[in-house]
């Protein structure tokens, strides 16, 4: 998607970790269109998990790839372009049954507004950014609010704009933190969702930042200058 030198992975990761004093590794994520695009040195995840769980796993040091068959959350899988939404999710019925919406019309309106990938991907590569052997499309950072604030200040330092957080409290780490930056080239910050809080164990004091590699080097340089 974006020209980016994978040799920068280690330096960028170390700058984020050292300056922000992060509790976990920044995560490199890359979309692959075909099975043959998966590097030979990256193995498939051992068991199916939700995408949010996979990102958390990578933030703890694991490297792997996953296709739609390994994605347990089909809403997240669809947001990432791996497959179509199951009918009950697409209709809004699933979220109404969970008690999150008053009716299917309101649920469908929110689902239709979710940022999703417009191409059919085969899978995703996940790795700690510091040791990733591929050029990521998106870097995800689990951050405390003050750390996210500093990233936001770095984003506007040179890009001359405001940070526009786009989230709905559902499909946060898939649609908001990955598909949004990947499809727009812009950063996004999301507060999480019930699924990521429950299954990925996103802490009460954590938010999720998704950065596109389109401008991550400028953001890193700004972070250094502001430190």
15-42 burial code (b ≥16 CB/10 A, e <16): bbbebbebebbbbbbbbbeeeeebeeeb
Residue 148 pLDDT grade (very low, low, confident, very high; cuts 50, 70, 90): very high
| pLDDT reported for residue 160 | 67
Q: Which residue has the higher pLDDT, 99 or 47?
A: 47
Taking the model in full, what pTM does it have? 0.94
**d(Cα 123, Cα 38) in Å, to the nearest integer?**
9
Q: Which of 49, 39, 70 is nearest to 133 (CA)?
A: 39
At 10 the pLDDT is: 97
**Residue 197: what pLDDT?**
96
Phi, psi of 117 (to 5 degrees): -75, 140
Mean of per-residue pLDDT scores for the chain:
94
pLDDT attached to residue 1: 43
* Spatial separation of the C-alpha atoms in residues 127 and 55, rounded to whole Å: 8
Q: Which two tokens stand for residue 214?
A: 């389109």
């Amino acid at each position: 998607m974006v020209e980016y030198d994978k040799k920068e992975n280690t330096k960028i990761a170390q700058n984020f970790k050292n300056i922000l004093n992060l509790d976990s590794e920044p995560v490199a994520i890359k979309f692959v269109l075909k099975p043959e695009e998966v590097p030979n040195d990256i193995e498939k995840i051992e068991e199916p998990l939700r995408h949010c769980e996979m990102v958390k796993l990578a933030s703890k040091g694991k490297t792997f790839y996953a296709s739609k068959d390994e994605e347990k959350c089909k809403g997240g899988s669809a947001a990432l372009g791996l497959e179509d939404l199951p009918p009950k999710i697409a209709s809004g019925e699933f979220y109404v049954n969970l008690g999150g919406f008053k009716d299917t019309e309101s649920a469908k309106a929110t689902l239709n507004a979710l940022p999703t990938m417009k191409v059919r991907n085969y899978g995703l590569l996940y790795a700690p950014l510091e040791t990733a052997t591929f050029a990521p499309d998106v870097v995800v950072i689990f951050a405390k609010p003050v750390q996210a604030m500093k990233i936001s200040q770095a984003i506007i330092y040179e890009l001359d704009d405001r940070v526009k957080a786009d989230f709905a409290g559902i499909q946060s780490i898939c649609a908001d933190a990955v598909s949004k930056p990947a499809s727009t080239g812009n950063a996004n910050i999301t507060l999480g969702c019930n699924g990521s809080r429950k299954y990925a164990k996103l802490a009460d004091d954590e938010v999720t930042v998704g950065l596109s590699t389109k401008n991550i080097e400028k953001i890193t340089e700004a972070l250094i200058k502001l430190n």
